[in-house]
Amino acid sequence: MTTATNVLAQGFALVQSPVKKGCDGKVALKGSQSILNGQTLTGAAIKEGRVEWFPSDKLRFKGACYKAMDRLIQSYGIAWGAGTLVPLYKLQNLMDEFELLQHKFMQEVDFLQGNYDLYIEAHKVNQPAAVQTVIDAVRLPWAEFRGSFKVVLPVPSVFQPLTDNLQGCATDIVDQAMQEISDQAEEIYDKMLGKKVIDPKSLPPLKRLVEKCRDFAILHPAFTSFVDMFDTLEKTLVPPIAGDVQAQLLGYLGVLSDPNAISTWMSNNQADTDIEDDLLQSIFGMGAANQSSVQPVPVFTPGPSTTAATPAAGNKITMKNPQAAPVAVTPNYDWETFGV
Q: What is the pLDDT of residues 317-336, one digit of tens each?
A: 333 333 333 333 333 434 34
Which domain-ending residue is among 127, 157, 187?
157
> Nearest-CA neighbor of 123 among 60, 62, 64, 58?
58
Q: In what helix (H) or strand (E) does residue 12 lie, and over which residues does it extend? A: strand 12-16
Domain coverage including residue 138: 3-157
Are 62 and 7 contained in the same domain? yes
Residue 3 near residue 224 (C-beta atoms within 8 A): no
**Model confidence over 182-237: pLDDT tens digits?**
999 999 999 998 888 998 888 999 999 999 888 888 777 788 888 988 999 999 98
Residue 142 near residue 114 (C-beta atoms within 8 A): no
Percentage of the residues of the chain whose pLDDT score is greater than 70? 66
Residue 18 pLDDT grade (very low, low, confident, very high; cuts 50, 70, 90): very high
Radius of gyration of the chain (CA): 27
| Average pLDDT of the chain, as a whole number | 75
Are 107 and 172 contained in the same domain? no
Alpha-carbon dihedral sign for residues 94, 97, 101, 107: positive
Are 63 and 200 contained in the same domain? no
**Residue 309: is its pLDDT beyond 60?**
no
pTM: 0.66
Are 108 and 177 contained in the same domain? no
Task: Quote the pLDDT of residue 162.
Answer: 60
Which domain-ending residue is among 135, 157, 179?
157
Question: How would you classify the pairing of strands 83-87 and 78-80?
Answer: antiparallel
Are 148 and 170 contained in the same domain? no
Tell me the mean pLDDT in the region 22-37: 75
Residue 84 near residue 74 (C-beta atoms within 8 A): yes
**Model confidence over 262-307: pLDDT tens digits?**
777 666 654 443 434 443 343 333 333 333 322 333 333 333 333 3
Are 188 and 104 contained in the same domain? no
**Alpha-carbon distance 69 to 154, whole Å?**
13
Are 143 and 165 contained in the same domain? no
Q: In what helix (H) or strand (E) does residue 151 lie, and over which residues does it extend? A: strand 150-152
Are 220 and 316 contained in the same domain? yes
Are 30 and 147 contained in the same domain? yes
**Alpha-carbon distance 264 to 286, whole Å?**
19
Q: How many domains does the chain have?
A: 2
Are 116 and 39 contained in the same domain? yes
**Alpha-carbon distance 99 to 106, whole Å?**
11
Residue 300 near residue 266 (C-beta atoms within 8 A): yes
Which domain-ending residue is among 109, 133, 157?
157
Pick from 5-19, 100-114, 144-158: least confident: 5-19
Are 182 and 41 contained in the same domain? no
Are 272 and 316 contained in the same domain? yes
Q: How far is CA 33 from CA 20, 38, 75, in A?
A: 31, 12, 46
Non-local CB neighbours of 269 within 8 Å, separated by 6+ positions: 221, 222, 225, 339
